[in-house]
Structure 1
Amino acid sequence: MDTQQNTALTRALAEVPGPLPTSGVIHITLPHTDRFTVVGNHLAQHPDLSCTAVGLAVRIQSLPQGTEVSIKALTARCQEGERRIAAALRELEAHGYLQRFRDRLPGQKVITRTVFCNQPAALLRPRSHAPVAAPAQAPIPAPAPAPAPARSLTHVPDPDPDPDPASVPPVPPTPPVPVPPGTSAQETPVPPSPPPFVPLVPPPTAPKPPRPPLPQPGTLTPELDRAATALLSDLRRHAPQFTLSEGDIRQLAPAVATWLERDAHPDTIRRTLTDDLPQPLRHPVKLLKHRLTALLPPPLPGACDLSAPARPRVVVTPFQTCDDCDRAFRSPDPGHCRDCRETREHRDEDVRAAA
């Protein structure tokens, strides 16, 4: 009886569309009408920023222009101490969200300016430049318009709606455009236009790439077809959203058979298809097609693929013993060492010379 129950939150929870997840957070999203700040997921889910730095960035982003955001001013506003706030500001500086620099005012006074950017990655993108067309001829100077009288509630008719053409002064002829010497009018150089701007994000009307086809097994045997059909029919026991029709099961069965052909366990396939579902799930069959195609595992490697590569054989020349001096030397065949061979050659030359 001492625990207070939030009945408003319970009523809002009952109005959440679709089945509730069995674990994790449940979002109750109500639209803001005033006093709100738009925060990007690149900041709210930044993998390298601490929660203190993210919260401090959101606090600074929600403050109006010109608010003091020094360490002492933030310490007075927040519950964290000066050390944690200083460390969080250094994190934001390291990732480009915050920049602090000194500026000298005209009165020789030096102040510290703090600049906060809610999306620093957008500053690194190339900016577009509108192409400027070269004029074909000099424009005619238009006469300065007379100041318009104050508008009144009564309608004043035009005193001369159709003036006489003879009374209109003639327009002076347009002076010709000067052409550099050595070039003709047809060869007048035109300044090059800047390259066209290519948007980073395609427009909504851009044609979408075709979806990849569903995977097909090498051989759809009756056993694989029966196992795939049974697995798809059993999905509604684990996730009621996947109550599939017979036509959907026949369409998805070859893709599931491909997974089974690649030795994927049925429990692994079931968890891959039913875990972490979007809320609400509007198109179950499209989600199954996407996961069966994008998350398809590769075939298991064979025994030959897992064996270590054979090392190159190194041929070692054996040791031999010289027949004359009994010295050891490397040679594929027995005989004499190098010194003994040279001695024998000199001796034979001397014998031939003496003869």
Structure 2
Amino acid sequence: MDAQHPSVPSHASLRVAGKRPAHHSSGVVHVNTRHTSRFTVIGNHLAQHEQLSLLAIGLAVHIQSLPTGARVDIKTLAARFPEGAQRIAGALRELEAHGYLRRVRERAPDGRITTRTLSCNQPSPGGRAPQTDAPVAPSPGPQRGTVLRGGAGPEHGTVPERSADPERGTAPQSGAGPQCGGKPARPPRRTPAPLRVPQPAHPAPALLRAATELLAGLHRHDPRLLLSARDTEHLAPGVAAWLERDAGPEGVRHALTAHLPPEPLRRPAAFLAHRLTAELPPPAASPARTAHPLRNCDRCDRAFRAPEPGVCGGCRASATSEQETRGQLTP
């Protein structure tokens, strides 16, 4: 019987797709098959990202494989995958922080504000991912990447980073719209107009304090009238103007809280400012002053106006203080 030599290599060699694989002592060996349909191109800056979690990378790959218009909100993704809403929300925040996901607010033709989600196959300038130094196999085209099977293919027009399709003879579309490589055009942000309310003629501190206390208690009559400290400070002069015109606190409170609309108040401070301005009562009628004749003081002979002869106000005050002093000295 011949002796066996287990150290002799086997004559059978591994054949993969008719090619001899490269010799490696350990690690992964790629068995690649060329895809001709239903594939998505993923950059190695995403697949080999050093800071993104594995869940975030997988979620980015899934989103990039979806056709345009697919829902990628947290509820839809949580129903699709077993990770749960909290983990998916964290992964979406990672992608947004590194520039692979953008949320753009746009105004619809009917005036409503909608949010559009942009999936970027290249990170935007605000969160560009570092490139890894791992060697990658060259692929036809100007970019290097990993081709993954599954998802939206060329029939959806979602194959990124292609200069042209030689089989279809089509060129990439460069239409207008939000882009991931730069800042998208956003509608101008409206700043709320300053609250204009009536101003009191004599803004005494006690009057403004009473107006502030009245505004701070309006939420007890309707929770929708809960005001911030800044709104209360802006509205206090308007309430003070009402109190100055002989409108008591209960009258002002009734004017501000009566007949409120049933729908939610988006800006309660602006609503109250409108009521304070539109329903401002007229100034209080001041009594006509009677011109009393001039009198001479019986003690200092100074002239003063009074309905009857007597002493002036200064002499009355002096007499009152003298009486109080005598009363304190008397045992």
TM-score under structure 2 length normalisation: 0.32
Structure with larger RCO (C-alpha < 8 A, sep 6+): 2
